[in-house]
Amino acid sequence: MKRSFYIVEVLLLLINTLLGLSDDATWAVNGSPQSLQSCYCKRGNYSGSGEIRPHSVTITEFGAVGDGVTLNTKAFQNAIFYLNSFADKGGAKLFVPAGRWLTGSFDLISHLTVWLDKDAVILGSQRSDDWPLTEPLPSYGRGRELPGRRHRSLIYGRNLTDIIITGDNGTVDGQGSIWWDWFENKTLNYTRPHLVELMNSTGIVISNLTFINSPFWTIHPVYCSQVTIQNVTILAPRESPNTDGIDPDSSDNVCIEDCYISTGDDLVAIKSGWDEYGILYGRPSTNIFIHRLIGESGRGSGIAIGSEMSGGVSQVHAENIQIFNSGTGIGLKTSPGRGGYVRDIYVSNLNLVDVETAIRFNSQFGEHPKESYDPKALPLIERITIKEVVGVNIKYAGILEGLQGDTFANICLSNIHLNITTTSKTSSWNCSNIQGYSNLVSPKICEPLQERIYPEHHLDCYRLSNHLWSPIRRKGLLSFSIDKLMTENMPSSVHFPV
């Protein structure tokens, strides 16, 4: 069933490509229009979220008190320990009713739904001891902020499958301000915790909830597969340090849909490990789909890749993104020492309002786990397409800096219209060590990207060329490509022959 659905999708993709429909074309499936990307998102396993788990308990049955003062860590742990006996019987649901449930870090199990009622608030303890220490991630080699171990997230899971965190817009509140103070006044002993971290897990749905005031990054899936994050609100003050929204890290098949995020740093940051540790661990982030994201990011980016990208990042598709009141619209952050790669990135339908820099490639981000990093480990950056962008009240159109001896290649920009607020020359495009192509960009694009996108660039510009192919070319491709597609297992990584 899954397999045949998959083949139908591959065929649709192929037909779309061969007919030369525009790459984000919609078509009718059973009479209703659907875009390719949302098809892909829906392919993730949502079944659990609608499904009623056969067993359910309420947190109060385990002695929890929702007064905002009583510490309920034991109640959460005991409830989840009890529910473990239902894991092989269809799983179980932990219901959190209205109330303010103060707790320290607790562990999830497989086949579990945590369901937060409308006025339920899970409150993170403000004592650092209630967030015990855990080992650094192997792909980071140490805590991100400080050497050694790191505090464990409030909601934590490792080596799990089939986990759902959902509800009727209940809230998970990290009460992070105390951690921001410890960070600002340099009294932290270990790296700050995330609000939710799932590690080495498969089949995750996080939906219909609000997450606020995380001590550090808010939702951090790391070494995970099949992750759906849908219809969540993530909030933290503009000034709060490093309160990223969603950071898929060395994870694949991730779908982020219909989210509103307003934090002090990047709304979504796609990562894959840090310098030599990330290179050695070698687990990329790939097949990441982001749709209908709205938000503001303080000084950060709407969507960022990096700066930790040493395990590689590829196949990122972002569409229908609205960013306002932010430092950067789309950001790529890397550095000598990172190694790894970023390739096959596609951003389309981007709306920017009051954003300082619309597109920013920062190749000197710095920050290394070790002073002795290898400066010759250069990142490979290629095939990045950004198209259909409208910006109002933008200060700098694009600051695109590659590295000397490491040109960022095949950067393709199409249909970009930015209203720049200042008139100085420095406020439009500034490119160095960049190669690529462009169509219809205003203000006038920088010299290295001035070449138009012609059909012969169809392999260079990621997903930007289908509509430019000649009919003769399309015909010649048909038989070859179907054979190739049927024997390969990744529809989105297919490379068409010239």
Ligand X SMILES: *[C@@H]1O[C@H](CO)[C@@H](O)[C@H](O)[C@H]1NC(C)=O
Question: Which positions touch ligand X (CB under 6 A)?
Answer: 2, 45-50, 128, 138, 158-159, 162, 166, 168-169, 178, 181-182, 185, 187-189, 200, 203, 205, 207-208, 210, 223, 230-231, 233, 258, 392, 419, 425-426, 430
Q: Are 439 and 415 in contact (CB under 8 A)?
A: yes
CB of 182 to ligand X, least distance (A): 4
Integer Cα distance of 26 and 33 in angstroms: 6
Using CB positions, name the residue nearest to ligand X: 169
Closer to ligand X by Cβ: residue 65 or 427: 427
Rounded-to-integer distance, Cα 144 and Cα 156, Å: 17
Nearest CA to 357 among 400, 295, 294? 400
Q: How far is the CB of 336 from ligand X (least distance, A)?
A: 16
Closer CB to ligand X, 201 or 348, in the complex: 201
Q: Active site includes 354? A: no
Q: Minimal CA–CA distance to 282: which of 330, 250, 254?
A: 250
326 beta partners: 298, 355
Q: Which of 24, 173, 265, 344 is catalytic?
A: 265
Closer to ligand X by CB, 162 or 308: give it.
Answer: 162
Q: What are 298's strand-pairing partners? A: 326
Backbone angles phi, psi at 308, to 5 degrees: -85, 110
Q: Rounded to an integer, what is the distance from CA 153 to the centroid of its chain?
A: 18
In angstroms, what is the minimal distance from the CB of 14 to ligand X?
Answer: 22
Taking the least distance from each CB to ligand X, the nearer of 49 and 56 is 49
Q: Spell out the residues 6+ positions from residue 446 whose beta carbon is closer than 8 angstroms to its own.
A: 398, 400, 428, 429, 430, 431, 434
Nearer to ligand X, 83 or 477 (CB): 83
Q: CA 83 to CA 32: how far, in whole Å? A: 40
CB 461 within 8 A of CB 410: yes
No. of helices (H) and no. of strands (E), the chain:
7, 29
Q: In the bound complex, what is the minimum distance in angstroms from residue 58's beta carbon to ligand X?
A: 19
CB 135 to ligand X: min, Å = 9
Catalytic residues: 265
